[in-house]
Chain A
Amino acid sequence: MAEVKILTEFYHLPEYQTLAGYQAKGGYETVPKALKMQAQQIIDEVKASGLRGRGGAGFPTGMKWGFLPKNGEPRYLLCNADEGEPGTFKDRMMMERAPHQLIEGMIISAFAIGSHKGYIYVRGEYVYPIECLNKAIQEAYAAGLLGKNILGSGFDFDLDVYRGAGAYICGEETGMISSLEGLKGQPKLKPPFPAVQGYLRKPTIVNNVETLAAVTYIIRDGAQAYRKNGTEKSSGTKLFSVSGNVVKPGNYEVPLGYPLMNLIMNECGGMKPGRKLKAVIPGGSSAPVLTAEEVAKANMDYESLAGLGTMLGSGAVIVIDDSQCMVDMLGVLTHFYAHESCGQCTPCREGTGWLNKILHAILEGRGRLQDIELLIKVADNMKGKTICALSDAAALPVLSFVNKFREEFEFYVREGRSKVKGTTYAEMHH
C-alpha cells in the first residue's frame, strides 16, 4: 500500500490550475450531476461516505450539515483556508495547484445545504494561493459556473475570497466568523453553534479546504467508492504535510489508517542519514507528541491516534530526530501559543503566558525543579476550561513533552543546558 491519489491525481500538471486544464481532466463534470440531484440526496451521500472534517477536529461533515435549521433562512458556506496550525501546508498546495477543485466542491456543497453565498477565508500570508483562487473564481464566473443560474439549473451561488490578517485564532471557526464580520478575531461563545447562528447571525457551515474538495469525489464516484479507502470509521484518503528531519518532506495523500512508520520510511524516504527517530507530532503542533516506540504502533486514522492519546488534527506530521532538544522545541511552541492566544478567556490568556515564562526561565538557566511539576499543573488546569480549543492546544503539547521526555527537562533544570545538544539556550540560538 502506498500513496492513493484521489485529490492530488493531477497536481503535477501546471495547467491543472486553469479552468481549461482542470476541465480536460474531468473537472466540473460533477456539478451538473449534483445540481440534478435532491439536496438531501447529496447530504445523505456525504453522510454515507463517512467523510470527516479535515481541518483538525474530525467532525463528520454530513452530520454537521444536518444541524442546519430546516427552513428557508439565508445561510452561508464558509471555507476555512486559514491553515494556521504549525506544520500544516496541505491547503496551500491545494489552492495553488487546483483552485477549481475547491470551487467545484463548494458549488456542490452549497447546493446541498441551500446556500447562495460563500466565502473562502484565506490567511493573509498566502499571497500566491489568493491570487490563484481569485483567478479561478473569475474563470468560473465567466464560464457560468458561479453566479446566477449556474449551468441553467436555476441555482445561484456567489463566491468571494476574504483575506485574513494572519492570526492563528481565526482558524477556529467562530473566530473566523468574527473576523469575517469585521470584528476582532475572537471565538464566540457556544451555544449557539454556527449551524444555528453563525456569520451575521445566520446559519453557517464552515468546512476545511480538503473537506470541501473531497465532496466532489464522493458525489462523482459515490459514497461506497469513497469508502474503499481508509478504515471503517476513518474513511477516504487524507493529505499529510510531513516536515522535520526526513529525507523528502512534503504533502502526501494516503488512505486513512496508513501506518505512520510507512509514511516516514517509504513516502518520505526515511530519516536523514545517520539520524534516529526520536519523536513525531502526528497532527499539527497542538497534538500530543509520540515517542519512537509509539510511532511504530501508530496508524494515521482518528481512532488509532486517539488510542495513543494524541490526535490526527490537521494532518501535519512533524518528525523529530535524536539531535533535537525537546525543551527547546517546547519553548518554540509555548511562545507561539502565548503570542496567538486571543486573550478572551482568562485561563488561556494568563496560562499561555505563564507556561511560556516558566519554559523560558528553564531555557535560560533560571529553572527550579518544581517548575516541571508546575508546568504540568498549569497545563492541566487550562484544559477544557475555555470557549475554544486554543487553551487545550497550548496545554496538550506541554503535558506530552514533559511527561514523555521528563529526563531532558530535569537535566536542563539541573545543568542549565540541553541534554541533547550540550549547549545553553544562548549558544543554541546564538
Chain B
Amino acid sequence: MPKCTINGKEVEVKEGSSIIEAMQVSGDRIAHYCWHPGLSVAGVCRVCMVEIEGNPRVQIACNTAVTEGMKINNTSDKVKDAVKWGLDFHLINHPLDCPICDQAGECGLQDQYMEYGKYDPEMAEPKQKKHKVVDLGPTIVLDSERCILCSRCVRFTEEVSKTNELGIFNRGDRSEIGTHDGMKLDNNYSLNTVDICPVGALTSKDFRFRQRAWYLKDAETICNGCSTGCNVKVYFNKEGFFRVKPTFNEQVNGHWMCDEGRNVYKFVNKEHRLLKAQVKGQGSSWTEMSAGAAAKAAAEVIKAAAADSLALVLTAQYSVEEFEAIVTTFVKDFKSNKIYFWINNKEAFDNFDGLLVRGDKNPNTKGLLKVLEKHGITATWNELSRGLKSGAIKTVVVAAPENQVVFPDFADRVKELSQAQNLIWLQSGQNEALKKLDGNVWLIPMKTFVEKDGTFINHSGLEQKFKKVTLVVSEALTLTEAALLLAGKNLNIHATSANEFLPLNQRLDQVAVEARKKNEFVFKRGNL
C-alpha cells in the first residue's frame, strides 16, 4: 500500500495503482478523455498531465504507477499549460457547433474548455473534413468530425462486448472510427459506447435530438428489465422519461448495462399508461372512474365472494414490500391461499449471456419466491387452470406486469384468466387484449417502478432498495395501496396535478413534436 502526496494531501492507494486512480481516491480533479476505469489504458489523449517531483517532464497520470513517497501535482502552471495545449490540439479540428450538437451540456471538451481554456482559437486554417452522420448500426450514429479518437468505443468492443466491430481507420489527422468490412455495430451492449464517448461523436438513435441535456433531471434507480438488477440513472423532465444510463456498481453491473434495459423508460411514460380505472359489467361498455373508486367497488365483490372461489395471480414485477402486503391480505383477511405465480418465459429463465443479460426478465423473481415461501404458498398454475375451467374459481385479482414486452404469453393468459366471473386486473400500461375483455372487469391503473419506493432481490439474492423518482400518473396505485383498498380499508388517493407530466402540446421550452415537422428547415447540398 504505497503512500503518495497529491497536491499536498497524503493518500494511500492500492499496490499497482496508477496516478489517475489515486486521484479518484483522493478526489482531485484531473482532465482525461481516453482513460476509463472499466477499460484498458490507451494513453493517447495526453491531457491527464501531472508533475512528479524529481521529473523534469510532465507525465501522463493514467500510465504512471504510484510509488512510495511520490509527490504529485496537477495544479501548477506547468501542468495547466500542458493541459491547455492538450485541449487545444483536441479542438483545432473539432467543429465549433455546440449549439446543434447533441452532447452539448455533458461534453468533456466543453467542461475542460471552461476549466483550462477560455482562449481564442489560433487555428486560422480550414478544419479537417471527415464523414458526418455515419450509420454505424441499428442503435448508433457517428459524427467523425466531432470524434477525438480517444478509442474508448473501440476498446469497449474489444474488451467488454468482445464483438470487435469497431476500429480506427486511416492515419494521422485523417483517422476515423468505423466498423470493419461488412460489419455493423450491432450488439446488445452497443449503447454503452455512447455513454463512454466523451464528445458528441457517437449518439443514440433513440435519444438524439429529443432533449437538451440541461433540460433533464436524473435519479438513480434499479433497472427492472431482468433479474440482474443493473444500477441505473433515469433521465426525465416534465415531458416524460427520455433515457436510461448505467451507474457504477462493482457487485452488480460494473460500469455497463445492456441495450434491452435502456428501453425500460418507455412503458413508464404517460402515453403508454392507463390513466384512469376502467370498469365494465357483463355485456355493458366501459365506464371510466378513479382508481380508488374502482378498487373500493372491487372490494365489495371480494367481500361477497367465498374464500375458496378467490384467487390471486402475481407477476415478479413488483417490489418485495408490495408482495408482502398483498399476500398477507389474501392469507389473513380473505383466508385464501390460492396465490399463483405467473411465470413468463420459463424455458429461457436460466439463460445468461456471460456479461449482464439474464433470461429471467423479471426484476424480482427471488423476492416473490421468498414471500410465497414465507407464507407457505405452494399452489401451481395447473391448479388455477383447472379451477377456472371448472368454475370453482370465480374472482381473480391479477397483479399484471408493467414491462409487457417481456411477457410473450400476455394475450393467452388474459384469455385464460377471463374465464373468471369477476376479473380485477391491476396494471400500469394499456393493452389491446384488455380492451376486448368481456364480463365483470375492474381495470385499475398501477404505479411503475420509478413512482414508488421498494426492494428488488436480484438473481444472486442481493437486495437492492430503490427510491421514488417522480410521479407520472398521480391516480395510480401501488400494490400495497391496492391491497388495503381491496381489503375494504379506507384510504384516500388524491389525484393531484402538481407533479404531473405535461401533454405534448403544452411543451414550454421546446417546439412541440407536431410543430417541429412543419417548421423543418431543409438545407440542400450546395445551397449554403
| B514 interfacial contact with A, CB 8 Å | no
B41: interface (CB < 8 Å): yes
Task: Say whether B128 faces chain A, with CB atoms less than 8 Å apart.
Answer: yes
Q: How many angstroms from the CA of A347 to the CA of B319 in the assembled complex?
A: 52
Query: Interface size bucket, A side?
Result: 20 to 34
> B347 contacts the other chain (Cβ, under 8 Å)?
no
Cα distance, A341 to B89, chains bound together (Å):
14
B381 at the interface (CB under 8 A from A): no
Chain B residues closer than 8 Å to A377, beta-carbon distance? 122
A347 near B124: Cβ-Cβ < 8 Å? no
* Binary contact readout B45-70 vs A (1 if CB under 8 angstroms, 0 otherwise): 11100000000011000010000000
Dominant secondary structure of chain B at its interface with chain A = loop
In angstroms, Cα B126 to Cα A354, docked, is: 10
A179 → chain B closest CB, angstroms: 13
Q: Shortest CB–CB separation between residue B96 and chain A, in angstroms?
A: 15
* B172 interfacial by beta-carbon distance below 8 Å: yes
Q: Once the chains are docked, how many angstroms separate the CA of A349 from the CA of B171?
A: 8
Interface flag for B97 (CB, 8 Å) = no
- Interface 9-residue window, one of A14-22, A286-294, A321-329, A382-390: A382-390
> Which residues of A lie under 8 Å from residue B88 when comparing CB positions?
381
Partner of B41, one of A189, A341, A385, A386: A189
Interface string of B180-217 (1 = CB under 8 A from A): 00000000000000000000000000000000000000
Q: Does B173 contact A (CB under 8 A)?
A: yes
Q: Check B171 against A343 for contact (C-beta < 8 Å).
A: yes
Tell me the residues in window 322-353 of chain A with beta carbons closer than 8 Å to chain B beta carbons. 338-347, 349-353
**A354 to B173 Cα, complex, angstroms:** 9
**A-B pairs with CB below 8 Å: how many?**
89
| Residues of chain B in range 158-184 having any CB-CB distance to chain A below 8 Å | 167-168, 170-175
Output the nearest chain A residue to B172 by Cβ-Cβ distance: A341
Interface centre among B125, B170, B174 (most CB of A within 10 A): B125
Closest CB-CB distance, B399 to chain A, in whole Å? 54
Q: Which of B42, B44, B82 has the most CB of A within 10 A?
A: B44
Whether B168 lies near A189 (C-beta < 8 A) is no
With the chains together, A373 CA to B330 CA distance in Å? 83
Q: B46 near A347 (CB under 8 angstroms)?
A: yes
With CB as the reference atom, state the residue of chain B lying closest to A337: B172
Determine the chain B residues whose CB is within 8 A of the CB of A354 once the complex forms: 89, 92, 123, 125
Question: Taking the complex as formed, is A184 at the interface, i.e. its CB lies under 8 A from any CB of chain B?
Answer: yes
Query: A86 to chain B: closest CB distance in Å?
Result: 16
**A345 — which chain B residues lie within 8 A by C-beta?**
43-46
What is the minimal beta-carbon distance from B157 to any residue of chain A, in angstroms?
15
CA distance A346 to B85 in the complex (A): 10
Please, which residues of chain A bring their CB within 8 A of the CB of B85?
347, 381, 385
Interface size for chain B: under 10, 10 to 19, 20 to 34, or 35 or more residues? 20 to 34
Given contacts A346-B148, A385-B46, contact A339 B86 (CB under 8 A): no
Measured CB to CB, the nearest residue on chain B to A377 is: B122
Instruction: Tell yes or no: A361 within 8 A of B by CB.
Output: yes
Which residues on the B side are within 8 Å of A346 (C-beta)?
44-47, 86, 89-90, 148-149
Q: What residue of chain B has the Cβ atom nearest to residue A168's Cβ?
A: B171
A420 within 8 A of B: no
Q: Does B93 contact A (CB under 8 A)?
A: yes
B residues 7-45 near A (Cβ < 8 Å) are 41-45
Contact B41 A350 (CB under 8 A): no
In whole angstroms, what is the CA distance A344 to B42 when docked? 9
The CB with the most chain B CB atoms within 10 A, among A349, A357, A368, A377, is that of A349
The CA-CA distance from A351 to B93 in the complex, in Å, is 10
With both chains docked as a complex, state the minimum distance between the C-beta of A49 and any C-beta of chain B, in angstroms. 31
Q: Is A46 an interface residue (CB 8 A)?
A: no
Chain A residues near B58: list those with CB within 8 A.
Answer: 385
Chain B, Cβ-Cβ closest to A374? B122
User: What's the least CB distance linking B129 to chain A, in Å?
Assistant: 12
Q: What are 14 A-B interface contacts by the 8 Å CB criterion?
A: A189-B63, A340-B172, A341-B172, A343-B149, A346-B45, A346-B149, A347-B46, A347-B86, A349-B149, A349-B172, A350-B92, A350-B173, A371-B124, A374-B122
* A-B pairs with lowest CB-CB distance, top 5: A343-B175, A353-B173, A357-B125, A381-B85, A341-B172
Known: A342-B171, A346-B45, A346-B47. 10 other contacts (CB 8 A): A338-B172, A343-B168, A343-B174, A346-B46, A346-B86, A346-B89, A347-B86, A349-B172, A354-B89, A357-B125
